[in-house]
Amino acid sequence: MRDLVILGSTGSIGTQALDVVARNPGRFRVVGLAAGGSDPALLRQQVEAFGVEHVAVADESAAEPLAGTSARIHAGPEAAAEVAGLGVHTVLNGITGAVGLGPTLAALTAGSVLALANKESLIIGGELVTSAARPGQIVPVDSEHSAMAQCLRSGQPDEVRKLILTASGGPFRGRTRAELADVSVEEALAHPTWDMGPVVTINSATLMNKGLELIEAHLLFDIPLDRIEVVVHPQSIVHSMVEFFDGSTIAQASPPDMRLPIALGIGWPDRVEDAAPACDWSTAATWEFFPLDDEAFPAVGLAALAARHGGVAPAVLNAANEEAVEAFRTGRLGFLGISDLVGRTLKEAIPSGAPAGNRVTLEDVMEADTRARARVRDLIEGIR
Ligand code: MG
């Protein structure tokens, strides 16, 4: 029986993780849950259904509906990190956004395996996070990185030539930059293949999600950026690939269903039987691959720029993006404005000249995050 803590339990990753756990009662035990607090009724239901011992809510006003359950309640902005730091076998971090950094560091410091769906914490923390982790302590849950980890099992590290990161292309694949000017929030939220939370879905429409995943792959597998290639694959069946130095490419394929990488993440290194349906070879299928259109979707290039610069640049990229996405969702910014503002904020934050050192502190990251958000808000005010 493996003890788990699930962070972001009422979100897309969290609810699917609990589905995997519920279908494997002898294998996993949920010790703690954490959620933001936007759905206290669902959180209470989860606490009771899984008999958890600890529950965390970031929004203190959401703690009251949890009263009377058997769980110890942790409330406030540090609550998720408290539960993440309990020292259980595996912590699944399914929180969305930069707020996942504290819990990521808490889980690593407590010695737990970190099943990481909160890519932002790794990206903005950079070396701060990688240096806190022992080899193998971070297990990717992001479908692409789970795929790469699976493909990497088929060769030695020094036999790897490059990683091939697949992108669905999102709902606007094939459109030119001009054709993206007037797209609506509803259109951006209609992802063709994946069912995800709203921020990740909009990040998939701009391809910033792929940009963040490029940095994530670089940090997780310690592969230089110029040896990671992004390819558009609209069917989202091949989740990523690894090319080895003999010319062989290994791909991981399965219908798009996050329960597969989630199950592998919490069960790592072992697979969980029937985690998700497999490919059906009895009907005809076509898998297509296209190069990335950098002009219509500049986000991947911006992410590469941030990663090459290092230091707090990835934190600036992520914070500016989170702020710009929120402005787009609430009708204060157009779709193209997202990448434009992220690019402008990033380029302003990167001084011309020598790149910054990679050693950053948590304070540096948080300060850069705050400054980037304020800058984006100022720019949006100026636009209106
Ligand atoms: Mg992904």
Ligand 1 centre to CA of 158 (Å) is 25
> Of the given ranges (122-136, 147-161, 356-370), which has the lowest mean pLDDT?
356-370
Beta bridge partners, 224, equal none
Label residues 143-171 b or e (16+ Cβ within 10 Å = b): bbbbbbbbbbeebeeeebebbbbbbbbbb
CA of 320 to the centre of ligand 1 (A): 20
User: How far is ligand 1, taken at its centre, from the CA of residue 231, in Å?
Assistant: 13
Segment 350-359 shows an average pLDDT of 60
What pLDDT does residue 354 have?
45
Q: Residue 29's pLDDT band (boundaries 50, 70, 90)? A: very high
In a domain, 202, yes or no: no
pLDDT at 356: 57
Residue 69 Cα, ligand 1 centroid: separation in angstroms? 35
Q: Residue 23 falls within a domain, yes or no?
A: yes
Beta bridge partners of 162: 243
Long-range CB contacts (within 8 A, 24+) of 148-152 = 148/217, 148/220, 148/221, 148/240, 148/241, 148/242, 148/252, 149/220, 149/221, 150/252, 150/264, 151/240, 151/241, 151/242, 151/250, 151/251, 151/252, 152/221, 152/242
Residue 330 alpha carbon to ligand 1 centre in Å: 24
Average pLDDT over residues 290-314: 95
Q: What is the pLDDT of residue 383?
A: 67
For residue 14, report the distance from its CA to the centre of ligand 1, in Å: 15
Q: How far apart are CA 32 and CA 129, in angstroms?
A: 22
Averaged pLDDT, 112-141: 96
Q: Helix or strand or coil: residue 243?
A: strand
**Banded pLDDT at 193 (limits 50, 70, 90):** confident
Alpha carbons 241 and 282: distance in angstroms, whole number: 24
Residue 84 lies in a domain: yes
pLDDT mean over 185-191: 89
- In eight-state DSSP terms, residue 64 is G
**72 CA distance to ligand 1 middle (Å):** 33
Query: What separation in Å is there between the alpha carbon of 84 and the centre of ligand 1?
Result: 22
CA of 204 to the centre of ligand 1 (A): 9
Q: pTM value?
A: 0.93
Distance between CA 382 and CA 13 in Å, rounded? 36
Structural domain count of the chain: 1
Per the structure, the complete domain to which residue 92 belongs is given by 2-140
Residue 157 falls inside a structural domain: no
Confidence of residue 358 (pLDDT cuts 50, 70, 90): low
Q: In this structure, are residues 306 and 355 in contact, taking their beta carbons and an 8 Å threshold?
A: no
Return the pLDDT at 126: 92
* Alpha carbons within 13 A on the beta-carbon side of 216: 29
Q: How far apart are CA 239 and CA 210, in angstroms?
A: 12
C-alpha of residue 144 to centroid of ligand 1, in Å: 5
CA of 35 to the centre of ligand 1 (A): 21
Question: Per-residue pLDDT for 274 more than 70?
Answer: yes
Annotate 15-38 with DSSP letters as a single string.
Answer: HHHHHHHHT-TTTEEEEEEEE-SS
Ligand 1 centre to CA of 212 (Å) is: 9
CA of 196 relative to ligand 1 center, distance in Å: 10
- Could you tell me the distance, in angstroms and rounded to a whole number, from the CA of residue 61 to the centre of ligand 1? 32
How many whole angstroms from 214 Cα to the centroid of ligand 1?
Answer: 10
Q: Which of 25, 31, 37 is nearest to 3 (CA)?
A: 31
Confidence label for 251 from pLDDT (cuts 50, 70 and 90): very high
CA atoms within 13 A of residue 372's CA, in its CB half-sphere: 31
d(CA 136, CA 106): 16
In a domain? residue 160 = no
Q: State the pLDDT at residue 353.
A: 47
Q: Over 50: is that where the pLDDT of 70 sits?
A: yes
Q: Which of 14-28, 77-91, 194-208 is predicted least confidently?
A: 194-208
The rounded Å distance from CA 384 to ligand 1 centre is 33
CA 302 – ligand 1 centroid, Å: 18
- Residue range 147-164, pLDDT digits in tens: 999 999 999 999 999 999
Asked if residue 270 belongs to a domain, the reply is no
In a domain, 347, yes or no: no
Q: Average of pLDDT values for 79-94?
A: 98
Mean pLDDT of the chain: 94
Average pLDDT estimate for 103-107:
98
Give the CATH number, domain containing residue 76.
3.40.50.720
Q: Using alpha carbons, select from 343, 300, 298 the residue that is nearest to residue 320.
A: 343
Evaluate if residue 85 carries a pLDDT over 60.
yes
Compute the distance from residue 119 Cα to the ligand 1 centre, in Å.
Answer: 9
Structure confidence at residue 382 as a pLDDT band (50, 70, 90):
confident
Do residues 139 and 268 lie in contact, with contact meaning Cβ atoms separated by under 8 Å? yes
Which tens digits make up the pLDDT trace of 208-245?
Answer: 999 999 999 999 999 999 999 999 999 999 999 999 99
User: What are the distances in angstroms from CA 245 to CA 149, 159, 224?
Assistant: 17, 5, 15
Query: What is the whole-number distance in angstroms between the Cα of residue 63 and the centre of ligand 1?
Result: 31
**How close is the Cα of 120 to the center of ligand 1, in Å?**
12
Task: Determine the distance separating the centroid of ligand 1 and the alpha carbon of 347, expressed in angstroms.
Answer: 25
Q: Are 220 and 127 in contact (CB under 8 A)?
A: no
Q: Give me ligand 1 centre to Cα 143, in Å.
A: 5
Q: How many angstroms is it from 142 CA to the middle of ligand 1?
A: 5
Residue 50 in any domain: the answer is: yes
CA of 235 to the centre of ligand 1 (A): 14
358: alpha, beta or left, given left = phi > 0 and alpha = psi -120 to 50?
Answer: alpha
Task: Please state the three-class secondary structure of 116-181 as a single string.
Answer: ECCHHHHHHHCHHHHCCCCCCCEEECCHHHHHHHHHHCCCCHHHEEEEEEEECCCCCCCCCCHHHC
